Structure 1
Amino acid sequence: MRIVCVGGGPAGLYFSILAKLSHPHHQVTIIERNPAGVTYGWGVVFWEDLLDDLYRNDPVSAREIADSAARWDQQEVHIRGEQAVHIGGFGFSIGRDRLLEILTRRALSLGVEIQFQRELEDLSEFADADLVVACDGANSKVRRLHASHFQTHIEVGRNKYIWLGTNKLFDAFTFAFEETPAGWLWFHAYRFSGTTSTCIVECPQETWEALGFDTLGPEETLRRLEDIFKRQLAGHLLFNQIRGLGKTPWLNFKRIRHERWFHGNVALMGDAAHTTHFSIGSGTKLAIQDAIGLAGKLRDTADLPSALRAYEEERRTALLPLQNAARSSAEWFENVPRHVEQDTLRFAYALLNRRGGPPWRYPLYLASQQAALRGLLRSLYSARRWVRRGRVDTLAPGP
């Protein structure tokens, strides 16, 4: 089979790996518009369920991803300069560049061809392909070429956000809220390497305009944000990846979904197929799970049309709970000015519970504000991770 993946992000790379592992004689080509080693974005987060998926499907790359990931075992909420409120939880984060480096090297070792710095002009370029996988992001050019068939629905969020990096290392996944005369701003931050953390700043459109961010250049924007969040950054710097373009990369989140996921021999994957709000941190996870899903259907289903139908049905069903959770999370952050009137403990719990949760969670949350219980919970999480890692290592064959 001749397979072309348009887009060299996690979805396209991981799918190409699995396609070659299933059928080494498949001819798999990735078309990537960026140069080799160049990507945009900071750290991405994931959880144990994705690690399990990675180990089950390709233990070689799974081990390297696990060894390269930073681990955090606490979430904290900072507001009004008060003592941090702890809301539990643990997870992993890895630099997007490091993740792509691992997957690119693995794909090349299996015989995948990667064509860097190649822009898609028209799908007729791939007339000889049996399957074209569109994994070229939320602004997918492939998807736009067949927009009427895919029936794309796009909802634009109200808040403005900007994806930044900082040399402040946050050991906990940190939410920090600051009030200005123009309104509230906040960030979501987490460490993903030994030198850098991701820092996503978000605020209502009205606050963004009142603070002049609609007119400030990139450097002025960073300096103003450093001043607003000086308490949390403690003298550390913010930086972005836009160089010399004269614009500041503020965005409104776009929720993207489709009525159909494939057209003929063209299938959508990752952000080209769907987006979920960044506040639940599942974009990379879902992209990789899409890749696993499509690769599995191609392996187990006799003909391509049946495989694509099964892939669409399976992934659409699997996505629904997370899409609903992401919508609830996005709406909660769009209403921060209303929630923030609560006392600090109630506010932090509302953030924790923004996607819903069991009634017993609140007493546990209150108890976990005590350092002794919090330490016990962290020890239990560490023991659980150790046992779980040992289990998946015994299930995963060697390279």
Structure 2
Amino acid sequence: MKIDIVGGGPGGLFLSYLVKKRFPAWTVRVFEQNDADATYGWGVVFSDVALKFLEEADRAFFKRFTAEHVRSDHMEVVHRGVHVPIDGHSFSRVSRIALLKFLHAECRAADVELLFNTRVDDVTALHGADLVVVSDGVNSRSRSQLADVFKPSFVQRRNKFAWYGTAQLISAVSLIFRATQHGVFIAHSYQYSAGKSTFLIETDPQTWQRAGFDQMSDEQSRALCGRIFADDLGGHPLLSNKSSWFEAVTVKNEKWHDGNIVLLGDALRSVHFSLGSGTRMAMEDAIALCNGLVLHQKDLGAVFDYFETTRRPVSDRFQDAAAKSLDWYENVADQMHLEPIDFAYSYMRRTGRVTHDDLRQRAPGFARQYELIHGEPVS
């Protein structure tokens, strides 16, 4: 069997590795429009809960995958300058370029053909492939080409984001909220390597405009954001890597496959970082699609049915929770009057899926702090 994968992100690379490991005689090619060393963004973070899927799928790969990751055993919510630790949350972090380099090496060892600087302008022209996997990201060119078939829908969220890095080492996965004369700014931050941290900044469009970001250069934007979060950056400047301001877009597709073509990862559905990692979802897609191939091999109809039956309910639940999380962030000004513990509690329960009993189990220390103030609430 011959499989062509359009897009060399984590989902497409992991799928190619899994398939070649199970079916070494099959031909698997990955087409990536960028250079092997190209990357945008800074780090990728996985919770231990999120990584369970990987350990269960391939324990040896999991050990290699996490060997060089930066570990953290808690997260923090910073409100009014008070650091509120949330226990029971372990994370594994790595730079995006290190993640891709690792996957490149795993794929080459499995004899996957990696074609960099190779842009696929017409996915239907891949006639020699038995299966074509479209995994070229949230702005998928291939999905757009076949929009009449897949029927994608897009929901534009309103908040503004800029994805910066910093040499300030922020050991805990931290959410920092700062009230300013212009409005509220939020930083999503975490250390992902020995010398760097991600520092993604978020604000609502009115605050963004009042602060004058619409009139600023990249350098001016970084300088102002650095001043807003000066207490957290410890004198380190923010670093840019094509860090233009952007808005989040939620992508869904009515159809997931057509003929011998199937969507995967962000091309299939976007998952906002306020709730979880799109990288995780793409890699879970890869596992499900590979499992479908193991069960049904060349019967693509059965493969796709297995993939969609397995992944669509999970995808829908995740996107629903992510939408509620985004709502909380977009209306965070309404929560800023809360005391730090209450504010963090509101954050932890923002999706409506986490009960107080859940917090007692997952974060007993934090739950006890809340109970000392308010008693034992009915979840």
Distance 1:355 1:72 in 2: 23
In the alignment, residue 86 of structure 2 is paired with which amino acid? I
**Matching residue of 1:136:** 136
1:306 aligns with 2:302: yes
**Matching residue of 2:317:** 321
Check whether the contact 1:12–1:291 (CA below 8 A) recurs between aligned residues.
yes
Q: What's the secondary structure of 1:68's corresponding residue? A: coil
Match of 2:252 among 237, 250, 257: 257
**Matching residue of 2:48:** 48
- CA root-mean-square deviation: 1.7
In the alignment, residue 85 of structure 1 is paired with which amino acid? V
In the alignment, residue 283 of structure 1 is paired with which amino acid? G
Distance 1:189 1:358 in 2: 25
1:72 aligns with 2:72: yes
In the alignment, residue 84 of structure 1 is paired with which amino acid? H
Check whether the contact 1:44–1:281 (CA below 8 A) recurs between aligned residues.
no
Check whether the contact 1:14–1:291 (CA below 8 A) recurs between aligned residues.
yes
Q: What's the secondary structure of 1:342's corresponding residue? A: coil
TM superposition shift of 1:369: 8.0
- For residues 52-201 of structure 1, the aligned pairs below 5 Å read 52-81=52-81, 83-88=82-87, 89-201=89-201
TM-score normalised to the size of structure 1? Answer: 0.87
Distance 1:46 1:76 in 2: 16
Check whether the contact 2:191–2:197 (CA below 8 A) recurs between aligned residues.
yes
Q: What's the secondary structure of 1:111's corresponding residue? A: coil
Q: What's the secondary structure of 1:271's corresponding residue? A: helix
Check whether the contact 2:341–2:369 (CA below 8 A) recurs between aligned residues.
no
TM superposition shift of 1:366: 4.9
Runs of 5+ in structure 1 lacking a partner? 243-247, 371-399
Distance 1:79 1:358 in 2: 22
TM superposition shift of 1:57: 3.3
- For residues 168-317 of structure 1, the aligned pairs below 5 Å read 168-242=168-242, 249-302=244-297, 303-317=299-313
Report which stretch shifted further, 301-310 or 164-173. 301-310
Distance 1:322 1:309 in 2: 20
1:359 aligns with 2:360: no
Check whether the contact 1:137–1:270 (CA below 8 A) recurs between aligned residues.
yes
In the alignment, residue 326 of structure 1 is paired with which amino acid? A
**Matching residue of 1:395:** none
Check whether the contact 1:164–1:238 (CA below 8 A) recurs between aligned residues.
yes
Distance 2:239 2:164 in 1: 6
Distance 2:162 2:276 in 1: 15
TM superposition shift of 1:60: 4.1
Q: What's the secondary structure of 2:235's corresponding residue? A: coil
Distance 1:126 1:337 in 2: 50
Q: What's the secondary structure of 1:214's corresponding residue? A: helix
Check whether the contact 1:161–1:250 (CA below 8 A) recurs between aligned residues.
yes
In the alignment, residue 294 of structure 1 is paired with which amino acid? L
1:6-41 CA-partner distances (Å, limit 9, x unpaired): 000100100000111111111100000111121112
In the alignment, residue 255 of structure 1 is paired with which amino acid? T
TM superposition shift of 1:47: 2.4
Distance 1:114 1:129 in 2: 15
Distance 1:163 1:95 in 2: 13
Percent of aligned positions that are identical:
35
In the alignment, residue 368 of structure 2 is paired with which amino acid? A
Check whether the contact 1:72–1:173 (CA below 8 A) recurs between aligned residues.
yes
Aligned length: 364
**Matching residue of 1:396:** none
Check whether the contact 1:32–1:116 (CA below 8 A) recurs between aligned residues.
yes
Check whether the contact 1:51–1:66 (CA below 8 A) recurs between aligned residues.
no
Check whether the contact 2:4–2:31 (CA below 8 A) recurs between aligned residues.
yes
Distance 2:339 2:369 in 1: 17
Distance 2:50 2:344 in 1: 27
In the alignment, residue 168 of structure 1 is paired with which amino acid? Q
Distance 1:324 1:234 in 2: 37
Check whether the contact 1:74–1:86 (CA below 8 A) recurs between aligned residues.
yes
**Matching residue of 1:16:** 16
Runs of 5+ in structure 2 lacking a partner? 372-379
In the alignment, residue 183 of structure 2 is paired with which amino acid? G
Q: What's the secondary structure of 1:155's corresponding residue? A: strand
**Matching residue of 1:376:** none
1:176-227 CA-partner distances (Å, limit 9, x unpaired): 1112211110101011111011111000000001111112111111111001
Report which stretch shifted further, 277-286 or 261-270. 277-286
Q: In the superposition, relative to structure 1, how do residues 14 and 366 fare at CA in structure 2: closer, same or farther (>3 Å)?
A: closer
Q: What's the secondary structure of 1:280's corresponding residue? A: coil
Q: What's the secondary structure of 1:341's corresponding residue? A: coil
